[in-house]
Structure 1
Amino acid sequence: MATPSPDPAYAITTMYSVPDDAWYLELDLVGTQRAVVTAIVPDEDPAREPTVCFEARSPVKHLDVPYAVMAWFMSVVEKEIHRSRAWMRLRPDLVEVVHGLRQEHLGIVSDDDFDDVLAELRGTVAEPDLPAVLAAAFGRTPDGGFVSGDLTAP
């Protein structure tokens, strides 16, 4: 998926790498279809931090990227970090529970299995924390519905 920049010479290509459990956002120079900067945003492992890499294999050793384009790119990266890692700002004990659920269930729990997972969670997580844990792990509410928005909200 490409997102055009305010400067038509640049765009961002966004892709997900399953082996890396991370989102890749590439700032591309449109005319040459060349990635100039790549941001990597892991979304499964709280211990892995987002990184930014500059294209080092390019035959052109120096490229001036306008400040406005770089500021725009970093703003998009910041929003992606917030979107895909919001659950990691929960209390450490809840982050551990969410991480375990995401690993075990790969972020999805079927309607048929939801009640069993909820019953198991009620044995380990305090009732006031259930909405945040279910939203972060599965995008679900305690009544089995689906949520959207800030996963760190109580």
Structure 2
Amino acid sequence: MIRPNPRPDAYALTVLYSVPDEAWYVELDDLMAGRRAVVTAIVPDEDPAREPTVCHDPGSGHRDIPYDVMRWFMEHVEEEIRTSRAWMALRPGIVEVIRALREEYLGGIGDEELVPVLAGLRDTVPAADLADVLRHAFGRGPDGRMPDDA
């Protein structure tokens, strides 16, 4: 469980997705200095070979970041890694299927495209892995529906 921001008057997070980088950026912003992104974590979510990294803003010089703030930031980074890259911990064959689908359909698929893709997946992916493939490739459940569909 991620703790609340220990110093909300001095630090904040910005989380954004970079399409060209195929990665989530989690930025620790120093509000008191009027600076943004004193520390940035980059969490690739498309390529299992790319590892997450953390960088400090070289333009801001040496910055003292309180331990509780840095720990809070790293908890958020850890959660982003867990949620963005969970599919990469599946069996290698399934990871490759998910990666290919994410690349081809850019993480989303229309209802009209889903039926033929689902038929093909049923022929190539074990039934026990089908739900994971749909969830991680398209954000859909085993019935093909989006999680927020009624």
User: Normalising by the residue count of structure 2, what TM-score does the alignment of the two structures yield?
Assistant: 0.89
Moved over 2 A (4+): none
Which residue does 2:19 correspond to in 1?
A: 18
Aligned residues: 143
Q: Tell me, in whole angstroms, the C-alpha distance in 2 between the residues paired with 1:22 and 1:75.
A: 18
2:59 aligned with 1:57, yes or no?
Answer: yes
Q: Tell me, in whole angstroms, the C-alpha distance in 1 between the residues paired with 2:108 and 2:26.
A: 24
Q: Tell me, in whole angstroms, the C-alpha distance in 2 between the residues paired with 1:62 and 1:110.
A: 48
2:117 aligned with 1:117, yes or no?
Answer: yes
| Paired AA for residue 29 in structure 1 | D
Structure 1 residue 145 displacement after superposition: 1.5
| Paired AA for residue 141 in structure 2 | T
Q: Which runs of 5+ in 1 are unaligned?
A: 149-154
Q: How does 1:25-104 map to 2 (within 5 A)?
A: 25-31=26-32, 32-58=34-60, 61-104=61-104
Residue by residue over 1:102-133, the C-alpha shift from the partner in whole angstroms, topping out at 9 and shown as x without a partner, is: 00011111111111001111121111111111
Structure 1 residue 55 displacement after superposition: 1.2
| Paired AA for residue 31 in structure 2 | V
Q: Tell me, in whole angstroms, the C-alpha distance in 2 between the residues paired with 1:65 and 1:90.
A: 36
Q: Which runs of 5+ in 2 are unaligned?
A: none
Structure 1 residues 30-39 or 100-109, which shifts more?
A: 30-39
Q: Tell me, in whole angstroms, the C-alpha distance in 2 between the residues paired with 1:36 and 1:113.
A: 43
- Is the contact between residue 134 and residue 144 of structure 2 (CA under 8 Å) also seen in structure 1? no
Structure 1 residue 138 displacement after superposition: 0.7
Cα 1:89–1:147 change in 2 (3 A) is: farther
- Is the contact between residue 99 and residue 137 of structure 1 (CA under 8 Å) also seen in structure 2? yes
Q: Tell me, in whole angstroms, the C-alpha distance in 1 between the residues paired with 2:68 and 2:54.
A: 17
Q: Tell me, in whole angstroms, the C-alpha distance in 1 between the residues paired with 2:69 and 2:147.
A: 33
Q: Tell me, in whole angstroms, the C-alpha distance in 1 between the residues paired with 2:142 and 2:39.
A: 41
2:115 aligned with 1:130, yes or no?
Answer: no
- Is the contact between residue 27 and residue 36 of structure 1 (CA under 8 Å) also seen in structure 2? yes
